[in-house]
């Protein structure tokens, strides 16, 4: 037989509770299931995804810089960085 999950009481501000309840309805699950899914998602997202996001941001910054240089070259202007 499965071991019962211990109960955990949580105080939520009314506005936050209403938002969670609304999202739970949209996702067709209970408020408890919505909170569990969001907690699990945030724990999964923490380390690996933030590293990937940071890497993607750096790549995009490089790409934007190259595109700016291309635009300046095509328009016959020189751009001076404000770095």
Number of structural domains (the chain) is: 1
In a domain, 34, yes or no: yes
pTM, to two decimals: 0.53
Q: Is there a domain that residue 55 lies in?
A: no
Over residues 29-71, the pLDDT tens digits come to 999 999 999 998 888 777 677 788 889 999 999 999 999 999 9
Q: What is the pLDDT of residue 80?
A: 59
Residue 17 falls within a domain, yes or no?
yes
Token pair, residue 16, equals: 């936050």
Residue at 24 is within a domain: yes
Using pLDDT thresholds of 50, 70 and 90, give the confidence band for residue 24.
very high
Task: Please check whether residue 58 lies inside any domain of the structure.
Answer: no
Q: Is 52 left (phi over 0), alpha (psi -120 to 50) or beta?
A: alpha
Burial (0-12, 13-18, 19+ Cβ within 10 Å), 21: middle
**Is 2 within a domain?**
no
31-44 and 14-26 helices, crossing angle to 10°:
90
In a domain, 63, yes or no: no
At 81, the pLDDT band (50, 70, 90 cuts) reads: low
Would you say residue 1 lies in a domain?
Answer: no
Host domain of residue 29: 13-43
Query: What is the average per-residue pLDDT within 5-22?
Result: 94
């Amino acid at each position: 037989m499965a071991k019962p999950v211990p109960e955990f009481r949580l105080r939520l501000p009314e506005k936050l509770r209403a938002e969670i309840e609304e999202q739970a309805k949209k996702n067709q699950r209970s408020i408890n299931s919505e909170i569990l899914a969001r907690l699990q998602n945030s724990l999964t997202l923490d380390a690996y995804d933030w590293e990937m996001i940071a890497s993607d941001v750096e790549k995009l910054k490089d790409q934007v810089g190259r595109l700016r240089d291309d635009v300046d070259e095509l328009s016959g202007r020189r751009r001076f960085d404000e770095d």
